[in-house]
């Protein structure tokens, strides 16, 4: 074999090896790009479950069924255990055909924060705190909660003027939720006289605690229908009913539910909180993937530059491990 043929054959062999080596070097950059794409894909799949609640239609939209109470009882106890205030107790049962969990928003007067927002698992059973959100605006505080239980219990105090013996108090059901059967019960204050209520709630009857009660069903009301209840009476004794009769509050204090606490603001499980967490996770994973891609690309580029060379005879590009030029056959390094 002639030297030129030998050189050509040798060079051809090394040319094949160099091509494979170049493919291997090219794989470093491509592998980094593939790794980056895999990281981005991982981020997308990781944040999709977190973004789903944020992308869901908000409560009250056409995509979500509007809540409805099958029954709602409003109990009004003026001056029961707090001077200058009336205790209002809302006990509602969501309609049986309403899909759960259901999102409910109820407005209460902003004069006092609610003392209880709870649920019950069965009529007459114990109460458990219901995680909720409070939104303060103007004269109302909106209580917003999502519940998997049909029995809802809310308590709050509203102010009344105790300075004048002729007392007046007006409760207004704001009509936030449709009600199939709305009933109102009035507990007359101890030592009160000339009690009047509008609409009429019937004759007063003595309860087991010695106080007089009036109660009536007012019927069904669509959402958005306001129902006022006006109460007036005369009372000169400044003491509460509990103080006069030595009573204790009948309604039990709600017990904390497992994994649930009363919340007076937005939580990290809200759509906004989940969106923030998802964005931070995407930024962290994306930054890590980019840094890894940049380091691998730089390493591959440096290796290619260190390994590259040129034939001193013809200037053809040769690899670092080539002994002879694949074009002219000249030796490119010392043995």
For the stretch 130-151, pLDDT in tens is 999 999 988 899 999 999 999 9
Please give the Cα distance from 335 to 324 (Å, whole number). 10
What would the pLDDT profile of 62-75 be if each residue is shown by its tens digit? 456 899 999 999 99
Helix/strand/coil for 54: helix
Residue 31 has pLDDT above 80, yes or no: no
116 with 76, same domain? yes
150 with 197, same domain? yes
* 109 lies in some domain: yes
Phi, psi of 250 (to 5 degrees): -75, -35
pLDDT of residue 274: 53
165 with 77, same domain? yes
pTM (whole model) above 0.85: no
Mean pLDDT, rounded, for 250-273: 41
- Which range of residues forms the domain containing residue 195? 68-265
pLDDT of residue 179: 99
Q: Residue 325 in contact with residue 332, Cβ under 8 Å?
A: yes
311 with 238, same domain? no
CA 183 to chain centre: 33
Residue 297 host element (H or E): helix 271-307
* DSSP letter assigned to residue 247: -
Please give the Cα distance from 173 to 92 (Å, whole number). 13
Q: How many domains does the chain have?
A: 2
Q: What is the CATH number of the domain that holds 112?
A: 2.60.40.1730
Phi, psi of 74 (to 5 degrees): -110, 115
Paired tokens of 135:
């939104």
Q: HSE-up of 204 (CA within 13 Å, CB side)?
A: 16
Q: Band of the pLDDT at 277, cuts 50, 70, 90?
A: low
β-pairing verdict for 85-94 and 68-78: antiparallel
What would the pLDDT profile of 176-195 be if each residue is shown by its tens digit? 999 999 999 999 999 999 99
Q: Residue 169 in contact with residue 141, Cβ under 8 Å?
A: no
184 with 79, same domain? yes
* 324 lies in some domain: no
Q: Band of the pLDDT at 287, cuts 50, 70, 90?
A: confident
Q: Which of 303, 296, 316 is nearest to 22 (CA)?
A: 303
Q: Of the segments 19-23, 183-187, 290-294, which one has the largest average pLDDT value? A: 183-187
251 with 102, same domain? yes
Mean pLDDT of the chain: 77
């Amino acid at each position: 074999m002639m030297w030129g043929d030998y050189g050509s054959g040798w060079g051809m062999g090394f040319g094949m090896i160099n091509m494979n080596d170049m493919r291997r070097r090219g794989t470093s950059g491509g592998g980094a790009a593939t790794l980056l794409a895999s990281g981005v894909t991982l981020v997308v799949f990781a944040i999709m479950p977190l973004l789903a609640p944020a992308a869901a239609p908000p409560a009250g939209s056409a995509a979500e069924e509007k809540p409805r109470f099958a029954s709602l009882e409003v109990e009004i106890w003026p001056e029961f255990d707090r001077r200058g205030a009336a205790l209002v107790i809302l006990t509602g049962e969501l309609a049986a055909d309403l899909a759960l969990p259901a999102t409910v928003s109820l407005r209460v007067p902003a004069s006092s924060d609610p003392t209880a927002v709870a649920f019950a698992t069965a009529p007459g059973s114990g109460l458990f705190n219901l995680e909720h959100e409070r939104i303060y605006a103007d004269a109302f505080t909106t209580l917003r909660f999502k519940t998997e239980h049909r029995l809802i219990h809310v308590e709050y105090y509203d102010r009344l003027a105790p300075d004048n013996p002729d007392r007046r108090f007006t409760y207004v059901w704001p009509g936030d939720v449709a009600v199939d059967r709305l009933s109102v019960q009035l507990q007359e204050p101890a030592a009160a006289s000339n009690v009047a209520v509008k609409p009429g709630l019937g004759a007063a009857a003595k309860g087991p605690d010695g106080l007089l009660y009036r109660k009536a069903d007012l019927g069904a009301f669509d959402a958005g229908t306001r129902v006022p209840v006006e109460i007036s009476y005369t009372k000169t004794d400044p003491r509460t009913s509990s103080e006069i009769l030595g009573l204790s509050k009948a309604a039990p204090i709600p017990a904390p539910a497992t994994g649930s606490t009363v919340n007076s603001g937005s939580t990290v499980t809200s759509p906004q909180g989940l969106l923030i967490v998802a964005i931070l996770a995407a930024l962290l994973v994306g930054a890590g993937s980019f840094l890894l891609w940049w380091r691998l690309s730089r390493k591959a580029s440096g290796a290619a530059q260190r390994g590259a060379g040129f034939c001193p005879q013809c200037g053809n590009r040769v690899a670092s491990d080539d002994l002879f030029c694949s074009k002219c056959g000249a030796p490119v390094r010392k043995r």
